[in-house]
Structure 1
Amino acid sequence: MEGGDSLKTALAWLRGAINGKIGHGLEARVLQGLRVTHAEKGFMRFDFVVPNTVSDVDGNWHVGALASLLDLIGIVTIYSFANRVISTVDFNASYYSTAKIQ
C-alpha cells in the first residue's frame, strides 16, 4: 500500500468504522465484510461480501445500506489524497434491480 499520512489516517478511520469504534454503529453494519485489497492516494480497491444484517424484509440488499457503503468508501478514498473530509451534498443512485443476499 502506497501513500503518506493522509492515506494512513483514512485507512485507520476505515478500520475504526468497520470495528464499530468510530461512528454510530450504522457504519459498522454497512461496512461489515469489507476488506481493502489495494490502497494508494486517491485509489482504493475492496472485496466485499454483503452481510445479512443489511437486508430488507424480502432478503434483498437494502438500498440505503448500499448508498451508505458507496458514500463511506468514497469519503475514505477522497480523504486519502485530500487529507480532509469532503461531505456528500447531492448523492443520486439509480437501481436497475434488487440484489438478493444469499
Structure 2
Amino acid sequence: MNKPNITSVYSIQNPNGKKSFFYSTRQDTTQFNYYLLEEDEAAIPRIRRINHAIDLLQDHSKNIARINMDSEDYSLFITQLSQAIRPSIKSERFKEPLKVKKYIPPFPRNKKR
C-alpha cells in the first residue's frame, strides 16, 4: 500500500486573523482525504479531518487561496504540520503497554492421567 501524498494546499484567512490550511491527500487513484490544519486558542496546531469539503470551500470561498510549494505560506504549513504530527507520534510511542490479564478458566479442569 502506498503512503498518502499531499496533492494540494490552500490557505484560509479566518475572521479572527489566523491562517488555517486546507489540504488534500491521495492514497491511490480513487481515494482522496481532506484535512484542515488550524491553531487552537493555545496556538497549538491541530489536524481535523473534513468529511464535507465542498461545504467548507463554499463557506470560505472569498478567503481561500491555493499556495505553491515555493511560497512562505507553504513553509509555514509544513512547520505547523510537523508540529501537529509530532505530539501524536510521541504519545503513541511512549505510552505504557497495557497490563495483560492472565486468563483464568471459569472452573478447574480434571487432568487425565
TM-score by structure 2 length?
Answer: 0.25
Larger strand fraction of residues: 2
Larger helix fraction of residues: 1
Larger Rg: 2
Higher relative contact order (CA 8 A, sep 6+): 1
TM-score by structure 1 length?
Answer: 0.27
